[in-house]
Chains A and B, each alone.
Chain A
């Protein structure tokens, strides 16, 4: 038999969500962790993508370059735009046919909508927002199981979850938690066109209109530079100053949860356990005290520069360099110095 590690390849209008490639990288690493065990049992191991949409073969082809051994392509007009029921019903049928062992889905808006429905339809376990995944021997289990680790209680605890008796073992994973694997110029895998069981009658919901330009316009997950503000800003106007620095550095503005809760800035900017996970090259935290739930969302940054009035602020525990001082003095000075550096 084949031990299958599945990844949901998320696309909208032919545009892939990069979390799909990140998950193909994770699935490859999980597959390699059971290779020896599989060989001993005469089993094969495969990393497989699941792609739904209409006329999206190019995306399937691309998935092969990111390491999929096989892509199940479900192509039908009913799947043109994402809708919960046609997607989950088609995927559940595909799972029942091929019986994957592990199934990873990006914890995006679309992925979260889908994952809970698929897991419920299959009556299997699903662990949300995993930050570590590993195939591991577990007492009493005949073969390795997926250890799914996620932050709980606002990031204060890391809980490791297993799904012992049911399959697939399902996880959702946020964008940017894992690195993007390199794209290989070679594509060795195959595309398998598969049957779509869902029909328009299953969908029930009709998308009457897509209002573009009103989504969460800022994609902070994939920004190289983020200038984030916290409660220390004192009010919404402080974000204008941060925006100025962010523009200068080619970056975007982020925020800690209290600012979003206070309505100073929209949720799309929120970094942390209840917001977005980010891994920019440079993260500047201004007036953010550094609650754990914030730190778990940004500690993957290459370099963290924190500014806070309070020398004891926990943000300094994770910052590569901290400036103790008034952000309303420090940021303007930084803007001037960065301008000078850019002209030099």
Chain B
């Protein structure tokens, strides 16, 4: 089976800092990683390939530094990586991004039919969860989000059964191929890279597709800033609420510190409400 995995390289947002002087993001020294949910989607694709045979193609849209994540994908068992890098793609919102990815998958389809398309459930830098469903709509394939498990694949009947976790229950869904799944981390563990894959990844050069090269064609009106209906109007630093001070348990003792804190909650009228509800 032919599985396409769309990945994104993201700054490790837990390490982002703001320069207090300028209010700008400090990008230096922030490590770039493969979006964790995408890594698990890829792991699921590689596991399916090992079980059912086939190939895994990984695509990503971004600057040339995203090659690092494509190499990591090869290390984890992907067969092929495609870098979608072009100045004209820059400034894309989720609608324009879904266009570029969908056009790429259509071009891949013409080379070899695609059975399954996997995304992470969202990217940790934007958290929108919009691109996966958008690509599914553009390709007119069924979209199943928040998938935690692939139960079975029936290649003869061209169907797949997956489990999808929602706030209320787990849905067991039977869907025809090709289908697009967005994946939770539980879908698969990240495997240890076998040595040959590791060696291959070190010097691996992904294919480079863009508006000038490669088999995919892109309409200028649908890519980059032009193809993006949303624009950033302004940026601010958030104002947070003001704190009300601290009491140090090492100075006044634990009992007294707790007493002071609970008194403060009582003075604010909170403790009464909470204890009333807790009984």
Contact = CB atoms under 8 A, between A and B. Distances in A.
Interface of A: 12, 84-85, 88, 108-110, 112-117, 119-121, 123-129, 138, 147-148, 151-166, 204-216, 219, 224-225, 248-251, 257-258, 273-274, 281-282, 291-293, 295-296, 299, 302-303, 305, 311, 316-326, 329-330, 333-334, 337-338, 341-342
Contacts of B142: 84-85, 204-205
B233 A147 contact: yes
A45 to B, nearest CB: 23
B255 A333 contact: yes
B236 A318 contact: no
A318 B240 contact: yes
8 contacts: A88-B137, A116-B132, A154-B16, A155-B238, A249-B274, A319-B246, A321-B247, A338-B275
- Closest 7 CB pairs between A and B? A325-B249, A250-B278, A125-B229, A322-B246, A116-B130, A116-B133, A125-B230
Contacts of B16: 153-154, 156
Contacts of B161: 208
A142 to B, nearest CB: 17
Interface residues of B, number: 86
Contacts of B243: 316-320, 322
B151 to A, nearest CB: 10
Interface in B221-279: 228-238, 240-250, 254-255, 257-262, 264-265, 268, 270-271, 273-275, 277-279
Contacts of A206: 173-175
Contacts of B98: 120
Contacts of B238: 151, 155-158, 292, 296
Given A281-B274, A296-B238, A324-B248, 8 more contacts: A84-B136, A112-B145, A121-B137, A152-B235, A225-B274, A249-B278, A329-B249, A334-B261
Given A157-B25, A273-B127, A127 B230 contact: yes
Contacts of B126: 128, 152
B274 A250 contact: yes
Interface string B69-99: 0000000000000000000000001110010
Contacts, number: 293
Interface of B: 11, 13-14, 16-18, 25, 93-95, 98, 124-134, 136-138, 142-146, 161, 163, 165-176, 179, 228-238, 240-250, 254-255, 257-262, 264-265, 268, 270-271, 273-275, 277-279
B166 A119 contact: no
A124 B229 contact: yes
For chain B, what secondary structure do more than half of its interface residues adopt (helix, strand, loop), or is it mixed? mixed
Interface centre among B136, B240, B245, B258 (most CB of A within 10 A): B258
Contact of A337 (B133, B170, B258): B258
B258 A334 contact: yes
A51 to B, nearest CB: 18
Interface centre among A126, A219, A251, A299 (most CB of B within 10 A): A126
Nearest to B182: A113
B245 A322 contact: yes
A205 B241 CA distance: 46
A138 B264 contact: no
A113 B274 contact: no
B275 A341 contact: yes
Nearest to A266: B186
Given A224-B274, A305-B261, A156 B133 contact: no
Nearest to B244: A320
A164 B245 contact: no
Contacts of B228: 125
A218 B58 CA distance: 35
Contacts of B125: 153
B169 to A, nearest CB: 4
A116 to B, nearest CB: 4
Contacts of A115: 130
A115 B274 CA distance: 36
Given A84-B133, A158-B236, A323 B167 contact: no
B200 to A, nearest CB: 29
B166 A126 contact: no
Contacts of B143: 84-85, 113, 117
